[in-house]
Structure 1
């Protein structure tokens, strides 16, 4: 039973984009590892820009 956690910044990711991530991630695991999409869990976490760091600062500052 695969579990995939995708983290993205909260910059207006649409429901359609999230659904595409879930669908294509499940399909990839089926293709690469032979995992059944019916038992694959994909969780998407949206992280505030102030909580996402890069190059020693937050993405919000960049």
Structure 2
């Protein structure tokens, strides 16, 4: 999922350089949403690992 966020970020940067503001804005929004979903899932995974008694990474 982080790969998708990075992909959309790159698409947004390229579209922004070329002047496609609508596409760039949409790609940035998608990248932000995917990034925050990734962060939330990461935190949940770390909490689950701590509850099981394993030390955090």
When the two structures are superposed, what TM-score results if normalisation uses the length of structure 2? 0.37
- Structure with the bigger percentage of strand: 1
- Structure with the largest fraction of helix: 2
State which structure, 1 or 2, has the greater radius of gyration over its C-alpha atoms: 2
Higher relative contact order (CA 8 A, sep 6+): 1
